[in-house]
């Protein structure tokens, strides 16, 4: 693994030369003047003065050699449809979408919010925004009206593009009513809403505001929209992520650094090459979908599969059927998907020809060793765990087979990826820790190309959130515990804050608490993440009632729990609904009033809660135990 270490060392100690070479992977309309401007730490500007465009690098640049080759392969087991778009087809659709947006007054720097499921029109709209220099913000379809309204107010989009509905496991999910309610809650809703009508969920268009995607597209068929060349540091998109407060953070991504990082990662991390087929099972509402469904594969000259469906419908072999059908070379999924497959007949893993498949990559939440072992033995393929965040934009820790093929270890995401100066540091003094010492996973700035450049509209929050929690030095905190073993393999040990990973979805417990507390029967509550064998973690809520008589019978408690669950789902979406809501007389707190969340988690997971000498009321933790019975 010496080559991997040398490669990484050069990327962080000779940044100028290293990244200058990597920048040659993409097209620059105007060459950059300098590789890095780090004159205002912790803000980093990469490839200063260079002008480029994500859409051009993903679509136009490949037309001379790949015009008739597959670029976007849409498969929906929800509506039983498949469609293959060549690179030329994508070019045509993106230009039409760009012309639509231009007609609606969208230009350079304007925001466009997308509330769409896994349909090709969502990808075309994202690329169209990139083409004209607009900033897109995709909101995951599982989020409900309150979440959506928050994001609309923060991004202030000129246009919203949505669908009538989506489908999950055969059940139609109406999108338009949720959007209409969100626009009613928003302080300054946009003037135009473009609706792609799939015929799934009937809706009433709002006169003077709602426009039909298909009609607009037909009007602009054959349009040619010039590429808007952006300076490297201009924003490409905003993607909201949960935080420790109820207010979501708009992660802002640049243009040039992101393009270079993704282009290099397709070779070094995924061992890929132009002409390959890449299959990422994530959703475009998450960062993995942005980076490795839409931009990464297309910038790398690869075909990408856009999949609307689950891993077990119509059966547990559907992913492997698609690998065989489309000659997939790289599969990127989540540990939760594999845990779901473990409940299926293991013979399904060998039902299809997987000879084209080189490796399976898993990310989104920690990959436990038994799950990794099971899928590795079942497929007979390398299983590569990687660790990253919405903020990083691409993997922080991973094996890098395109640099050097080294043995992986189950339970470990291997090593720091080139460009990320990752360390394990002490939370008490900020010093680097040695082998097998637990500390905070931190990154010494500057953050590499492709990582977040700031929080949308709030530079101060960017600095305060990520660069001030470690005493004694200005380093980026991932808010994850980790350690490095004596051989240099890294291990992630869980969160240091109140953000949890539920089946790859990052949720802020504070947001869920605020929703539960909005019920008029609740005095206060605490929401924690508890280990779960299927989803990695689930949210558990412990609530104190204003009037305990409301839940003094099993029937009353069940009804109240259901009412609160529906409230959370209505406000935040089904993805944020707790697994259970337990009613208790008091929450365990310190004498200063801080809820002892780690003690609650320990009790839920049948572990020793540790030192409780600071707890105000020892009986409160006993009530937590009793509620679990």
- At residue 611, the pLDDT reads 64
Judge if 200 and 242 occupy the same domain. Answer: yes
- At residue 588, the pLDDT reads 86
Judge if 210 and 341 occupy the same domain. Answer: yes
Coil, helix or strand at residue 243: coil
Indicate the DSSP class of residue 206.
Answer: P
Residue 133 falls inside a structural domain? yes
Q: How many domains does the chain have?
A: 2
Burial class (CB in 10 A: 0-12, 13-18, 19+), 606: exposed
Judge if 162 and 229 occupy the same domain. Answer: yes
CA distances from 74 to 4, 34, 170, 188, 289 (A): 36, 40, 17, 35, 14
Evaluate whether 591 touches 616 at the Cβ level (below 8 Å).
yes
Residue 215 falls inside a structural domain? yes
Q: Which domain holds residue 362?
A: 2-416+423-466
Residue 484 falls inside a structural domain? no
pLDDT tens digits, 507-562: 777 778 878 988 988 888 889 989 888 888 899 999 988 888 767 788 888 999 99
Evaluate whether 627 touches 583 at the Cβ level (below 8 Å).
yes
- CATH number (domain holding residue 503): 3.30.300.30
Q: Provide mean pLDDT across the span 401-420.
A: 95
Q: Where are the alpha helices (DSSP H) in 573-617?
A: 597-604
Judge if 461 and 390 occupy the same domain. Answer: yes
pLDDT tens digits, 289-321: 999 999 999 999 999 999 999 999 999 999 999
- At residue 590, the pLDDT reads 66
Indicate the DSSP class of residue 501.
Answer: E
Taking each helix axis from N to C end, the angle separating 15-22 and 2-13, rounded to the nearest 10 degrees, works out to 100
- At residue 141, the pLDDT reads 83
- At residue 270, the pLDDT reads 98
Rounded distance between C-alpha atoms, residue 614 and residue 220, angstroms? 67
Rounded distance between C-alpha atoms, residue 43 and residue 39, angstroms? 8
Residue 494 falls inside a structural domain? no
Rounded distance between C-alpha atoms, residue 27 and residue 20, angstroms? 13
Residue 69 falls inside a structural domain? yes
Rounded distance between C-alpha atoms, residue 391 and residue 253, angstroms? 9
Give the HSE-up count for residue 189: Cα atoms under 13 Å, Cβ half-sphere: 18
Strand partners, 162: 115, 195
Question: What's the pLDDT band for 244 if we cut at 50, 70, 90?
Answer: low
Evaluate whether 308 touches 333 at the Cβ level (below 8 Å).
no
Judge if 571 and 438 occupy the same domain. Answer: no
Q: Provide mean pLDDT across the span 400-426.
A: 96
- At residue 116, the pLDDT reads 96
Residue 489 falls inside a structural domain? no
- The reply to whether omega before 100 is within 30° of 0 (cis) is no
DSSP line for 528-553: EEEEETTTEEEEEEEEEESSGGGGSS
Judge if 520 and 397 occupy the same domain. Answer: no
Rounded distance between C-alpha atoms, residue 57 and residue 593, angstroms? 53
- At residue 401, the pLDDT reads 97
Rounded distance between C-alpha atoms, residue 375 and residue 587, angstroms? 41
- The reply to whether omega before 314 is within 30° of 0 (cis) is yes
How much of the chain is in helix, strand and coil states, percent to nearest 5?
35, 25, 40
Rounded distance between C-alpha atoms, residue 266 and residue 330, angstroms? 10
Residue 503 CA to chain centroid, in angstroms? 11
Rounded distance between C-alpha atoms, residue 371 and residue 367, angstroms? 7
The encoded tokens of residue 532 equal 């779960």
Query: Which residue carries 């008029």 as its tokens?
Result: 520
Judge if 459 and 506 occupy the same domain. Answer: no
- At residue 219, the pLDDT reads 97
Across all residues in the chain, what is the average pLDDT? 92
pLDDT tens digits, 251-278: 999 999 999 999 999 999 999 999 999 9
Judge if 598 and 507 occupy the same domain. Answer: yes
pLDDT tens digits, 141-198: 877 888 899 999 999 999 999 999 999 989 999 999 999 999 999 998 999 999 999 9
Residue 240 falls inside a structural domain? yes
- CATH number (domain holding residue 340): 3.40.50.12780
pLDDT higher than 90, residue 104: yes
The encoded tokens of residue 607 equal 């572990």
Query: Which residue carries 């891993």 as its tokens?
Result: 311
pLDDT higher than 80, residue 415: yes
Query: What is the pTM assigned to this prediction?
Result: 0.86
Judge if 129 and 173 occupy the same domain. Answer: yes
Residue 515 falls inside a structural domain? yes
Indicate the DSSP class of residue 30.
Answer: B
Strand partners, 397: 387, 416
Rounded distance between C-alpha atoms, residue 381 and residue 465, angstroms? 39
Rounded distance between C-alpha atoms, residue 269 and residue 401, angstroms? 6
Judge if 267 and 358 occupy the same domain. Answer: yes
pLDDT tens digits, 34-84: 999 999 999 999 999 999 999 999 999 999 999 999 999 999 999 999 999
Judge if 457 and 539 occupy the same domain. Answer: no
Q: Provide mean pLDDT across the span 416-441.
A: 96
Residue 617 CA to chain centroid, in angstroms? 39
Judge if 461 and 548 occupy the same domain. Answer: no
- At residue 591, the pLDDT reads 58
């Amino acid at each position: 693994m010496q080559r991997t270490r040398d490669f990484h060392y050069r990327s962080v100690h000779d940044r100028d030369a290293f990244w200058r070479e990597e920048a040659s992977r993409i097209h620059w309309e105007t060459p950059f003047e300098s590789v890095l401007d780090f004159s205002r730490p912790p803000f980093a500007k990469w490839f200063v003065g260079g002008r480029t465009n994500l859409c051009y690098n993903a679509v136009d640049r490949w037309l001379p050699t790949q015009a008739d080759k597959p670029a976007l392969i849409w498969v929906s087991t929800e509506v039983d449809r498949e469609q293959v778009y060549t690179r030329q087809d994508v070019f045509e659709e993106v230009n039409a979408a760009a012309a639509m947006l231009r007609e609606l007054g969208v230009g350079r720097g304007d925001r466009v919010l997308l509330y769409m499921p896994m349909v090709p029109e969502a990808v075309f709209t994202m690329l169209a925004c990139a083409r004209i220099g607009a900033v897109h913000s995709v909101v995951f379809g599982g989020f409900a009206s309150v979440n959506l309204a928050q994001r609309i107010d923060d991004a202030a989009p000129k246009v919203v593009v949505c669908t009538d509905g989506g489908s999950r496991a055969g059940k139609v999910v109406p999108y338009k009513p949720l959007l209409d309610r969100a626009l009613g809650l928003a302080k300054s809703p946009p003037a135009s809403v473009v609706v792609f009508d799939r015929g799934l969920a009937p809706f009433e268009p709002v006169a003077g505001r709602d426009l039909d995607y298909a009609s607009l597209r037909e009007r602009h068929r054959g349009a040619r929209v010039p590429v808007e060349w952006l300076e490297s540091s201009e924003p490409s998109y905003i993607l909201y992520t949960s935080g420790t407060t109820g207010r979501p953070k708009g992660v802002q991504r640049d243009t040039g650094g992101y393009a270079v990082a993704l282009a290099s990662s397709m070779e070094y991390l995924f061992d890929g090459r132009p002409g390959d087929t890449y299959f990422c099972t994530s959703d475009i509402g998450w960062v993995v979908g942005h980076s490795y469904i839409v931009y990464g594969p297309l910038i790398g000259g690869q075909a990408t599969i856009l999949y609307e469906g689950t891993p077990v419908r119509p059966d547990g072999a559907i992913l492997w059927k698609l690998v065989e059908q489309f000659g997939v070379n790289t599969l990127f999924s989540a540990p939760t998907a594999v845990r779901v497959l473990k409940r299926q007949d293991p013979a399904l893993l060998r039902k299809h020809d997987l000879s084209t498949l080189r490796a399976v990559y898993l990310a989104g939440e920690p990959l436990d060793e038994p799950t990794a072992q099971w899928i590795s033995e079942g497929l007979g393929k390398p299983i590569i765990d990687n660790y990253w965040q919405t903020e990083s934009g691409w993997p922080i820790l991973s094996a890098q087979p395109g640099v050097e093929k080294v043995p992986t270890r189950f339970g470990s995401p291997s090593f720091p990826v080139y460009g990320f100066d990752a360390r394990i540091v002490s939370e008490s003094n900020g010093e680097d820790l040695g082998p097998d010492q637990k500390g905070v996973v931190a990154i010494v700035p500057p953050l590499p190309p492709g990582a977040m450049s700031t929080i949308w509209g709030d530079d101060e929050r960017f600095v305060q959130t990520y660069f001030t929690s470690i005493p004694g030095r200005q380093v980026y905190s991932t808010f994850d515990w980790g350690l490095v073993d004596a051989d240099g393999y890294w291990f992630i040990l869980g969160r240091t804050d109140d953000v949890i990973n539920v089946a790859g979805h990052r949720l802020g417990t504070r947001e869920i608490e605020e929703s539960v507390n909005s019920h008029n029967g609740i005095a206060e509550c605490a929401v924690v993440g508890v280990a779960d064998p299927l989803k990695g973690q689930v949210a558990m809520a412990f609530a104190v009632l204003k009037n305990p008589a409301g839940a003094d019978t099993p029937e009353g408690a069940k009804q109240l729990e259901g009412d609160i669950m529906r409230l959370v789902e209505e406000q935040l979406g089904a993805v944020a609904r707790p697994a259970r809501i337990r009613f208790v007389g008091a929450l365990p707190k310190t004498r200063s009033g801080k809820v002892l969340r780690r003690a609650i988690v320990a009790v839920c997971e049948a572990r020793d809660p540790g030192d409780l000498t600071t707890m105000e009321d020892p009986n409160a933790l006993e009530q937590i135990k009793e509620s679990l019975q």
